[in-house]
Structure 1
Amino acid sequence: MEELALKSNSIGSGNERIREILLVLLVLCAIGFLILTLLKELGKDSAGAQSVLKTSKQALVRYFIMNLAIVFVALVIVNYISVMRNHNFDLSSKGQYSFSPTAVKILKNVDKEVEVIAFYPRPLENSPSSDKANSFSLRRIRPDLEIYLDQLKSLSPQFKTRFINADVELDDLAEFGQVSNGTILFRTKKPFAESGKQYAEQRLSIREKGDLEDLERKIVQAVVNITTEEKNIYFTQSNGERFSSIFQNLPNEKIGILSNSLSFLNFKVKGLGIAEGWPSRIPENTDVLIIAGPTVAFSKEAQTAILDFIEKKKGKIFVTIDPKGTENFNWLLEKSGYEFAKGPLSQVQGQAGMILAKSFRKHPIEEALSRKDMGAVFPFAGYFVPRTTLEPGGKNLEAFPLMESGGESILDKNNNGKQDNGEERRNVILGMILKTIPKVQKEETKQNSATGLSELQQGSTEQKKDSPIGLADSKQDSQNNPNSPLTPSPKGENETPSKNKDTDSKEEGRIVIFSGTSWITDQFISYGTNYELATSSITWMYQDLSLSSIQPKKEEVNTASLTEVQKRVVWILGMFIFPGLIAFVSSVALIQKRKREGEES
């Protein structure tokens, strides 16, 4: 029986199923026409109308052949459309098994061959090596995945899909490395592949029915990541960064997992040192620059090179700060009206320096996080605060808070992992996005800041006259109170990710900066949403892709609750009314039939 079940479930693609159904319909139609012809033949009991019967018989045969030819042509046309066009009709309430117009537009424009390999067991297939509970869940969602992934081939001929059971078909796993059931692999060949890295690939983990709600977003993001032109990414390594040789022998402190993962996400990873002209210049072919936790402050020459890369070349930089180091990046942050505070911060009771950040602002980076409800494990970090005074040059960078600690974080002055007297709980900024301000917007900002400054000076003069405390004490209180009106709010003008939504990523410099580094090290990057946050932040640098129009497809089940009276009415209808009505109608029909038979006799 198990072999029969395996054979019955090893049917090919959806097109083969349609052809089989059409063949069955053709056979049934032929049998139907034959039976109809025979019944009409038997119904002719008049012996004196043989000539008429012969003519009628020929007409029936002629009509049968004609109708059969018409049905055959129609079935051939339907079969051709199903194979060549492969239209999908999604009859679910929210389009559960179809792609949205935004996703269709993106996926149709894919110009590289993309392999989609889904590792799932068949519905009736069991393996001794698989977990029974987990295997049941995976077998349950495979039919839905087959319907969903099969549409990729109809959207574009560049997509090739197949399913493999990782617990049974072990001979087919050699080319995929370490995989397990519950994974969907998207990969495309690199044009100039290095040894061992001939594919750009991304993996999705879909293990439960609920994971299908956000599957469309994940598919689009994965396809965009691997089909985008290969980018050069440089890691600075001359100021004690995590990419430098100093940390290569420290398993918990290096960033090997992140750098290796980027090479599979269509990045060419390189180090930036003296041989590449650093710190006097940054290579011209740099698409993204990563500065991962420098422990030694940058020289003026390096600072100038970084600022020129952002402002003049509209470069993209990913920065993580090491609070224990001497580099605080205030020379960069001051251009956005913020500065770095070393902390320390604590949140988890008894674990000093440990933060679980779950507060994310609405942004394309946040949209790409499938596990943001788990939060980012953010240990040993500082935080960002607004500057009380701006530099004479004003703001050159637009700031947008991406990730915050939430109200449970403690400004743990003695770093003992608990709240003591004099220590407050506060929501602080842990990650920010900085962008270069367009010229038109910069002029408007200067005018607004000048107007606001004059109003502030006028108001402060009046306040000094009316209040004995003075403005200085008010400023000090505003720094301690995050809800004070004098505290520069991260909201307001920076509430949206970008004022100029039409600005292309190539026309603006972008910086994603975080107040800690340990979260991307090999020790912590696998926790929570750390890996997704790091890779999504880096890939967003050069993408103008917003997935906000692709909404999660949550399956809503409407449950109706009945009162006791309604339950009693339903019970009476089901047990007495309906059966009685059926018996009454049947009795009336039977009596009428017998009356007619009696009258005829």
Structure 2
Amino acid sequence: MNLASFLWMVGFGLIYVGERLFGGGESTWHPVLDGSGLLLVVVSLAMIAARRARVDADQKAPYGLALIFGAVGLSSLLFYALGTDGGTDALGLEGEAATRFGVAMHALTPIVWLAGTLPLLSINRALALSPVRSIPRLVREGALSALAVSFALSMLFPLNYLAHEHNKRWDLGYFKTAQAGSRTRAMIEALDEPITVTNFFPTGSDVEDEIRTYFDPIAGPKLDVRYVDHALEPALAEELKVRDNGYVVFSKGEQVERVKIGKDFDSARRKLKKLDQEMQKALLKLARGQKKAYFTVGHDEMYWRGDADKTRKINTLKQVLTSLNYKVDELGLAEGLGDRVPDDADVVFIMGPMKPFLDEEIAALNAYRERGGALLVAVEPGGADLSGILAPMGLSVDLDSRLAIDNYYLKVTGGPGDRVNIVTNKFSSHPSVTTLSRNSSQVGVAFPGATHIAEDAGSSPGKVQTTIRSLSATWLDLDGDLEFDEGTEQRKQYSLAVAVTTPVQGAPNGSDAEDGDEPDDADGADSLIDSEPTESRVIVMGDASWASDLFLLYSGNGQLAVDALSWLTEDKALEGETTSEEDVKIQHTKEGQGLWFYGAAAFVPLALLSLGLGRLRYRKIRSRRS
């Protein structure tokens, strides 16, 4: 940059600082900076004019062109001055007319300045490179190119103004309000009393429009859906204890459940995506009382608290049960497990114990089962011997060996150890896997480190059904080398989960109860009201890690937990599916991360370098030919 260009840029820089930082007050720096800047700009143009006077006649044109563009750039100060309060006052403009004129002048100021400055700098640079003799045609073409660039850049200024004045927000992300799932529809059909849903939203609300897409298709005699504005219905709002719009209220008699959605669309997006889940939570609380789920403790079972490894932690499972209106409690010696399982237990979970149970505890659990209790027993290879609980049902497990597969498994570490992460979609038609069975082509379940469950033929007092089997390429890894050994190991489908039903002695129709049959209500109609058990229900699984925090969210594992719970507790309210439009988190694998790393660090730069070298070679070959 030659001296004339330097003075030009410094001059306008001083004017900018003077106006921007000191133009709004009475600071003495304002005239000093503006005056100094203007002086430097004039000196810059004077230097160009002086050089023009000294060169030959055929070299004067580029300097003359520079002076023209310099005058254009200098005129930007005039546009700026006209846009100030003093300029509009001098022109006699007032009110809105003065505001519009000022905005237009200030918008033109940077455009005119760029149109004069960039060509001027281009010409000064060309003349500096050829101080003795320049080619006027090339200098002019360079100036015109710079002028085109200035016009392109100038588009940013009106666009920025328009964007500021007409601020609009477009969300191109995926969004869809959840629709009522089959479980919600079944719960509504099974209601013994109608439930009223009151939606508090302002008239014309975007959120109300989305709410309508969910509730209108399921409204009917058992679900009365209303839409009100909080401001127009103050008495109703006070009765339901709603303080503002943005709430969905479920009511049945004196029972009321409130769900806050949000009255503006941005705050309501997340709740709308999982509206079906919120609907089911409210229905469960209104349609039936809270149920009780116990988890055995004291034997190093999987647990929901502490800093345990995620494969041994079941906090997510506890949250699922809580959302289904289950109260979750511990069951150990301190809670009476050595004597009797509490009568309020709707289901008892035994999740991967590593230490043995006392004989008294086993006796209490067996007595609970025999009087019609529900058990979910998940064994863990290398864990505690549960034969005292399994043998009376005609079942046994091999705790010394794990199942493995080498062609289809869940990758976690990327090593051979992942072969024990069994994945399958082989479900029976049993009610405990009914939803998974219907969707077996789309979902599967993961049983990491599972063993198989064997049935001792003829020794079970009840009915045993395999509900989940492994893929046919699975083998029982007897030597633990994770390699299939022909001759000593066998590939086949192994039982991963079984369901056992045993009639309760002395119960009405107990001896005639069949697996999967539902007891008839007194009036023959479906109901969510519990009945006396006529049979015990037990699910035994060859793995407990499927329910851990690390794996419960995998594909169908969560649905497996809900389906199993629905069958065990004969809870029709849990039958079917829940819909959700929540974003699915991207799971990064080791291989995928490596691909992105090496692609960004090596492949892309090498590709760009190759293109550059190819371009240089092409130009060299072309120059030789010419």
TM-score (norm 2): 0.47
